[in-house]
């Protein structure tokens, strides 16, 4: 609850004219949102565009945030809806360097802590992640959306139903078909990983569901 109260304080500060407070919200949640948006769009560039557009839209509509849900839930909904709609707003910006957060809270690329890891481990992880992302990308958009929201983000059926504007029963049937297809695509990968006693960061639960 403390985090929610802190977010309300930042929102109120921003409404009072302290716009730099919104930068704190951006820095707090952009890395958390990025993996979901990347999986939904299948493109790092698209994910960055959607992420930036989501925070811009949230800033512009901040008066509509009344605190019934957490700020993260609110911005999550905005970002997911933009990703699912294929929305991309192109703006003139200097992309020669990395987009890093400055004092005004502009969007930055998610932090990469891989430099601290063993190089061979990094390569293995990237190979596994590439296989997983390829399997997800091969799913139809409707099936990809439900499996990402449920099995990767842990959203409740009712939340997914609300987000996608489909009945809960449709969510369940799409999830069943998506899991079946993803299971077939990832089975050989998971068998290889398990034989080597290496985990797949939660993908086994999708395949064995």
Position 78 in a domain: yes
CATH number of domain containing 197: 1.10.10.10
The pLDDT value recorded for residue 86 is 77
Position 153 in a domain: yes
Of 27-41, 127-141, 160-174, the range with the lowest mean pLDDT is 127-141
Model pLDDT for residues 76-85, shown as the tens digit of each residue: 999 999 999 8
Residues 66 and 123 in one domain: no
Provide the sign of the torsion angle of the four alpha carbons 179, 185, 191, 197, taken in this order.
negative
User: How far apart are alpha carbons 145 and 10 in whole angstroms?
Assistant: 31
Position 200 in a domain: yes
Helices 157-164 & 168-195 angle (0-180, nearest 10): 120
For 135, the domain range is: 117-207
Residues 135 and 200 in one domain: yes
Q: How would residue 126 be classed by pLDDT, with cut points 50, 70 and 90?
A: confident
**Is 205 a residue whose pLDDT tops 90?**
no
The pLDDT value recorded for residue 130 is 79
What percentage of residues in the chain have a pLDDT greater than 90? Answer: 52
* Upper half-sphere CA count for residue 108 (Cβ side, 13 Å): 17
Q: How would residue 102 be classed by pLDDT, with cut points 50, 70 and 90?
A: very low
Q: End-to-end CA distance of the chain, in Å?
A: 32
CATH number of domain containing 72: 1.10.1740.10
Number of other residues whose CB lies within 10 A of the CB of residue 107: 22
Position 94 in a domain: no
């Amino acid at each position: 609850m403390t985090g929610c109260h802190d977010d309300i304080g930042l929102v109120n500060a921003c409404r009072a004219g302290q716009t730099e407070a919104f930068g704190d919200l951006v820095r707090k949640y952009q890395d958390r949102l990025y993996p979901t948006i990347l999986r939904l769009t299948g493109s790092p560039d698209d994910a960055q565009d959607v992420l930036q557009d989501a925070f811009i839209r949230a800033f512009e509509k901040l008066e509509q945030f009344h605190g019934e849900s957490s700020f993260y839930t609110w911005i999550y909904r905005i970002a997911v809806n933009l990703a699912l709609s294929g929305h991309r707003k192109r703006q003139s910006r200097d992309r020669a360097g990395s987009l890093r957060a400055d004092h005004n809270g502009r969007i930055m690329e998610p932090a990469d802590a891989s430099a601290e890891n063993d190089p061979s481990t990094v390569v293995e992880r990237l190979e596994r992640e590439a296989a997983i992302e390829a399997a997800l990308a091969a799913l139809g958009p409707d099936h990809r959306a439900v499996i990402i929201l449920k099995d990767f983000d842990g959203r409740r059926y009712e939340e997914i139903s609300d987000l996608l504007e489909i009945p809960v029963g449709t969510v369940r049937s799409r999830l069943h078909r998506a899991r079946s297809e993803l299971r077939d695509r990832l089975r050989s990968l998971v068998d290889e990983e398990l034989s080597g006693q290496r985990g797949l960061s939660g993908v086994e639960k999708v395949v064995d569901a």
